[in-house]
């Protein structure tokens, strides 16, 4: 009897159950104490590992851990501290400018609003989604290149870009699972379905969802 791949509904149900069993708790990987420190940490994580960000931010918080104090720190000093994160000139300017905007326009508080967040320097849709989900608890599904890759391997998206992947994942997964699920997928991708360690034919989710898959799954880069 021929082995058949799971239907999409079956794949979704298996993925939800498997990730929940593996990662019942989903601590935010970036160390932070409030919406502002999370916002800055997520900004710093662009093209940088969470581990490196967590090594850098304690020294940054010693300089300033709130918008009012950060707005008074020279950009050069911010850049000196965050240099190990990469892209430090752009990131330092963004941190300085967004801190000034928060002070001048939002009474020193991070706005609990997606559109407002996306207008801040250095804050794109993914960063804003993380803040809305993890700082404020609003349903969001931040999609980075890792989630984009796994969603393609699992047959949940056509995989043209992260924006399309986000729409596709929101369509197939329950809204009340989005915030936790995006972290569960990240954790699974780092541990089992890595960029080089799995090609769509190795990890348990890939092999369970697609037992008949014989060739590596080619994924489109975001």
Catalytic positions, please?
126, 144
DSSP 69-96: HHTTS-HHHHHHHHGGGS-HHHHHHHHH
- Other Cβ atoms less than 10 A from the Cβ of 6: the count is 18
Half-sphere exposure of 94 (CA within 13 A, CB side): 22
φ, ψ at 194 (rounded to 5°)? -75, 170
Q: What is the CA radius of gyration of the chain?
A: 19
Half-sphere exposure of 160 (CA within 13 A, CB side): 4
Report d(CA 165, CA 149) in Å as an integer. 9
The residue assigned the tokens 């979704």 is 12
- Other Cβ atoms less than 10 A from the Cβ of 58: the count is 11
By CB atoms closer than 10 A (0-12, 13-18, 19+), residue 3 is exposed
Q: In this structure, are residues 200 and 153 in contact, taking their beta carbons and an 8 Å threshold? A: yes
Q: Would the CA dihedral through 142, 144, 148, 154 be positive or negative?
A: negative
């Amino acid at each position: 009897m021929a082995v058949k791949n799971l239907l999409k509904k079956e794949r979704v149900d298996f993925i939800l159950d498997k990730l929940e069993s593996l990662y019942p708790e989903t601590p935010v990987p970036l160390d932070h104490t409030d919406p502002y420190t999370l916002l800055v940490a997520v900004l710093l994580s662009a093209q940088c590992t969470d581990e490196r960000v967590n090594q850098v931010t304690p020294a940054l918080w010693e300089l300033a851990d709130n918008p009012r104090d950060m707005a008074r720190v020279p950009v050069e000093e911010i850049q000196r501290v965050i240099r190990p994160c990469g892209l430090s000139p752009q990131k330092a300017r963004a941190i300085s400018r967004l801190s000034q905007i928060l002070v001048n326009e939002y009474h020193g508080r991070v706005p609990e609003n997606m559109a407002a967040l996306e207008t801040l320097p250095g804050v794109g849709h993914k960063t804003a989604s993380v803040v809305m989900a993890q700082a404020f608890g609003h349903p969001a599904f931040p999609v980075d290149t890792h989630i984009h890759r796994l969603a393609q391997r699992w047959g949940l998206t056509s995989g043209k870009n992260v924006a399309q992947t986000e729409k596709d994942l929101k369509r197939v997964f329950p809204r009340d699972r989005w915030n936790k699920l995006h972290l569960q997928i990240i954790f699974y991708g780092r541990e089992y379905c890595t960029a080089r360690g799995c090609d769509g034919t190795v990890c348990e989710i890939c092999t369970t969802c697609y037992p008949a898959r014989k060739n590596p799954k080619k994924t489109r880069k975001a």
